[in-house]
């Protein structure tokens, strides 16, 4: 019997479990060391739970904003004087019980898949122990919950430990009134007045979701606008929708502290203003879980932010040590973590490997409307990083959008001036996460706007707008317009 390559993976999130599946399929002996349950934060406290909560919010929004226009009559016994009362309500306790149930079920499914593939799952915390051995192996010490330790020997180690919510010193979450995004699923009643601090993706998603569920929401943004890292046109649409639905969006307002005053929360801003609510959600970024892993002693270089430095095949500066996911700070997306983990295993085990190409990554903000992006961005074009032509088409002109009562959103595509090759796109629409895929395929395969324009689309459909934008870009190219 020949030698079997030993792989130890520290962390069971998308970066870890996807790597485990690949390594096991390629014949390695794989051990996954995990302390919370496979799926990691993505499945247990972040992506899966938040999108499950948002699924309920989505139904509420669709009902609230469209039913009258679509001619739907709701039988209601509200007394005439209170006729404006909300017709549909939500049982947040029930919603959150479903959220947790689905997250656990997903975690169990992942554990079953990894085990079925032949990998071993160990419950505990792993850390690297010293430098590489003379035979090229690495030692990983696993500490179980009861304090007992076991040392594993590995030919390669993958660090996929993720991150945790960043906290402000004067706004410590208590899990009851002041919350981080992992604690919101313990709420049994809908917050009456929710203050969301942070207008990045997490803050915007939760602000929009709780607004739809019936909370009065104030969104505190330290920047000029909501979603400062996203396409400016898309962010403008979303901010307009938020304000129109009654959200109090406070731009250029940095939160200094948050404290409980009885059953209220007071948030003090940097300019001295004080705002109050029943609850406060802190969404001010994440910190990588890179401490206490023995990384620097093992020769693994960390950035100033605490993220692990990696190259495009997920290698760290220490031979035989790879890293994937949020702990690397490359892109805080489950899809990118999974790709980094798979690439690491392909590379180490000698399989065909393509380096990570961030210009083909598609991502989505699960607000209502959703914002999906792929490839080069408006910021890249404006900064001169790439020369591209742009066409943006509002959904308001789309026949299917008219039928469904969709007023907000657009399709935007970026293509190269000479060749018409598609290099990026933005979709703002309900289920933009589904609509971005044809543009992703185009970007990944260097397709031209002519090819997109010539492919059949269903009539009427929202995807028809993608073809229409491509036709406009192709016509302008043919006509020699800039």
Tokens, residue 414: 């970026």
Provide the pLDDT confidence category of residue 455 given band limits of 50, 70 and 90. Answer: very high
Cα gap 350→30, rounded to integer Å: 16
How would DSSP label each residue in 269-323?
Answer: ETTS-EEEESEEEE---EEES-TTS-TGGGT--B-TTSPBP--TTSB-SSTTEEE
| 435 torsion bin: left (phi>0), alpha (psi -120 to 50), beta (else) | alpha
Give the pLDDT confidence score for residue 133 in this predicted structure.
87
Q: Which tens digits make up the pLDDT trace of 123-176? A: 999 999 988 888 889 999 999 999 999 999 999 999 999 999 999 999 999 999
Contact 380, 231 (CB under 8 A): no
Give the pLDDT confidence score for residue 1 in this predicted structure.
47
Annotated binding site for FAD: 51, 126, 326
Cα gap 133→154, rounded to integer Å: 10
Say which CATH architecture domain 368-472 belongs to. 2-Layer Sandwich (3.30)
Question: Residue 198's Cα: distance from chain center in Å?
Answer: 15
Tell me how crowded residue 54 is: count the other CB atoms within 10 A of its CB.
21
Provide the pLDDT confidence category of residue 79 given band limits of 50, 70 and 90. Answer: low
Q: Which tens digits make up the pLDDT trace of 50-59? A: 999 999 998 8
pLDDT at 402 over 50: yes
Residues in the chain: 482
Give the pLDDT confidence score for residue 229 in this predicted structure.
94
* 4-43+97-163+285-357: CATH class: alpha beta
Residue among 125, 11, 46 nearest 334 (CA) = 46
Annotated binding site: 51, 126, 198-205, 285, 326
- Residue with the bigger pLDDT between 83 and 325: it is 325
pLDDT at 368 over 60: yes
* 176-283: CATH class: alpha beta
pTM of the model: 0.93
Hey, where are the domains in the chain?
Answer: 4-43+97-163+285-357, 176-283, 368-472
User: Which strands sit side by side in the sheet containing 274-277, from one edge to the other?
Assistant: 255-261, 264-269, 274-277
Strand, helix or coil at 201? helix
Q: Which tens digits make up the pLDDT trace of 421-443? A: 999 999 999 999 999 999 999 99
Annotated binding site for NAD(+): 198-205, 285
Q: What are phi and psi of 68, to 5 degrees?
A: -70, -45
Q: What are phi and psi of 212, to 5 degrees?
A: -65, -35
**Cα–Cα–Cα angle for 203, 369, 446, rounded to 5 degrees:** 100
477: exposed, middle or buried (Cβ count in 10 Å: 0-12, 13-18, 19+)? buried
pLDDT at 405 over 70: yes
Mean pLDDT taken over the chain:
93
**H/E run at residue 198:** none
pLDDT at 75 over 80: no
Question: Residue 8's Cα: distance from chain center in Å?
Answer: 26
**Biggest alpha carbon distance in the chain?**
83
Tokens, residue 127: 């850390």
Evaluate whether 4-43+97-163+285-357 and 176-283 have a shared fold: yes
pLDDT, mean of residues 275-279 = 98
What does the DSSP 8-state code read for residue 350?
Answer: T
């Amino acid at each position: 019997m020949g030698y079997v390559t030993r792989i130890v993976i520290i962390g069971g999130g998308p970066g870890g479990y996807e790597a485990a599946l690949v390594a096991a399929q390629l014949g390695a002996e794989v051990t996954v060391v995990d302390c919370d349950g496979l799926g990691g934060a993505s499945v247990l406290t972040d992506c899966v739970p938040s999108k499950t909560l948002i699924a309920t919010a989505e139904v509420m929004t669709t009902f609230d904003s469209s039913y009258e226009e679509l001619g739907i009559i709701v039988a209601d016994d509200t007394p005439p004087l209170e006729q404006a009362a909300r017709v549909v309500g939500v049982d947040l306790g029930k919603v959150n019980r479903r959220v947790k149930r689905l997250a656990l079920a997903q975690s169990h499914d992942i554990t079953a898949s990894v085990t079925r593939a032949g990998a071993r799952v160990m419950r505990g915390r792993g850390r690297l122990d010293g430098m590489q051995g003379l035979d090229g192996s690495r030692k990983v010490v696993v500490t179980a919950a009861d304090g007992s330790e076991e040392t594993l020997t590995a030919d390669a180690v993958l660090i996929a430990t993720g991150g945790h919510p960043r906290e402000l010193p004067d706004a410590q979450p208590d899990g009851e009134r002041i919350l981080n995004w992992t604690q919101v699923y313990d709420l049994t009643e809908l917050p009456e007045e929710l203050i969301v601090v942070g207008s990045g993706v997490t803050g915007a998603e939760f602000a929009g979701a709780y607004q739809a569920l019936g909370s009065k929401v104030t969104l505190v943004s330290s920047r000029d606008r909501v979603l400062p890292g996203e396409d400016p046109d898309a962010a403008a649409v979303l901010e307009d929708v938020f304000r129109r639905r009654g959200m109090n969006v406070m731009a250029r307002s940095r939160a200094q502290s948050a404290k409980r005053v009885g059953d209220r929360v007071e948030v003090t801003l940097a300019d001295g203003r004080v705002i109050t609510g029943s609850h406060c959600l802190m969404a001010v970024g994440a910190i990588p879980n890179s401490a206490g892993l023995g990384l620097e002693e093992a020769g693994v270089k960390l950035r100033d932010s605490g993220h692990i430095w990696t190259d495009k095949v997920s290698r760290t500066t220490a031979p035989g040590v790879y890293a994937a996911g949020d702990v690397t700070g490359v892109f805080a997306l489950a899809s990118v973590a999974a790709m980094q983990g798979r690439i690491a295993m392909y590379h180490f085990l000698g399989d065909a490997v393509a380096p990570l190409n961030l210009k083909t990554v598609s991502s989505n903000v699960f607000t209502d409307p959703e914002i999906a992006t792929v490839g080069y961005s408006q910021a890249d074009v404006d900064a001169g990083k790439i020369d591209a032509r742009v066409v943006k088409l509002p959904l308001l002109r789309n026949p299917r959008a008219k039928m469904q009562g969709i007023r907000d959103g657009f399709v935007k595509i970026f293509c190269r001036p000479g060749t018409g090759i598609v290099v990026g796109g933005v979709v703002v629409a309900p289920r933009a996460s589904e609509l971005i895929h044809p543009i992703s395929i185009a970007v990944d395969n260097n397709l031209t706007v002519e090819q997109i324009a010539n492919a059949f689309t269903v009539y009427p459909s929202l995807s028809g707008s993608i073809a229409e934008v491509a036709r406009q870009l192709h016509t302008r190219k043919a006509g020699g317009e800039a």
